[in-house]
């Protein structure tokens, strides 16, 4: 089953509509869809490495736009739309934990969620539910999603199939390490260099 999905995704990534599929997937995954845009982004960078910046840019922008859509779901349609999405993915435990995090660290929470393989849609919807500052939400999403997608695209464009295989096998580990490095850098800067 997984092999068939990978094959379909690779075919989509190598089609003339690849960029359209990438934009739609990036938008949808940030608010209600389960397949991450990385699954299209990385093979597209493998097939056409010279366009990695373009692919990372569109993935980031459409992911953030999808995040704003998720924010709107949380703010205006929580009972009608957000609850069924959370129920469908069995994410109530995570949602309640996210509420606690938002009360203390809203910008950092969205940033880390955008950077890691955490279910980003939970965080976008939660940002709307808990009425996070929209501008702060957009900036946190741009930084988190942008860092993640640009690093992945660069690695695959630069190192090819080996990088793609590494990311497929160790995606969770790699994104957590990247998140920890970035958060550590932010903390060092804010504590010692400001």
Encode the chain (194 residues) as per-residue pLDDT tens digits.
456 666 777 777 788 899 999 999 999 999 888 888 988 999 899 889 999 999 999 999 999 999 999 999 999 988 887 788 888 888 888 878 878 878 888 888 898 888 887 889 988 988 999 999 999 999 999 999 999 999 899 999 999 888 878 777 777 777 777 777 777 766 666 666 55
123 in Cβ contact with 68 (< 8 Å): no
Cα–Cα distance, 67 to 86 (Å, whole number): 15
Cα–Cα distance, 190 to 58 (Å, whole number): 30
Cα–Cα distance, 129 to 125 (Å, whole number): 6
What residue has token string 């934990």?
97
31 in Cβ contact with 9 (< 8 Å): no
């Amino acid at each position: 089953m997984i092999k068939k999905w990978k094959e379909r995704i690779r075919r989509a990534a190598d089609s003339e509509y690849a960029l359209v599929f990438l934009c739609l997937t990036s938008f949808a995954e940030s608010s209600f869809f389960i397949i991450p845009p990385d699954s299209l982004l990385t093979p597209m960078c493998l097939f056409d490495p010279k366009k990695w910046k373009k692919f990372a840019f569109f993935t980031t922008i459409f992911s953030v736009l999808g995040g704003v859509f998720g924010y709107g779901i949380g703010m205006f349609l929580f009972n009608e739309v957000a609850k069924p999405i959370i129920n469908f993915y069995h994410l109530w435990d995570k949602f309640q934990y996210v509420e606690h995090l938002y009360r203390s660290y809203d910008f950092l929470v969205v940033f880390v969620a955008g950077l890691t393989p955490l279910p980003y849609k939970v965080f976008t919807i939660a940002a709307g539910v808990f009425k996070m500052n929209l501008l702060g939400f957009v900036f946190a999403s741009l930084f988190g999603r942008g860092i993640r997608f640009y690093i992945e695209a660069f690695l695959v464009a630069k190192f090819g199939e080996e990088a793609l295989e590494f990311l497929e096998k160790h995606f969770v580990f790699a994104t957590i390490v990247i998140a920890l490095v970035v958060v550590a850098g932010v903390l060092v800067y804010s504590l010692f260099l400001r």
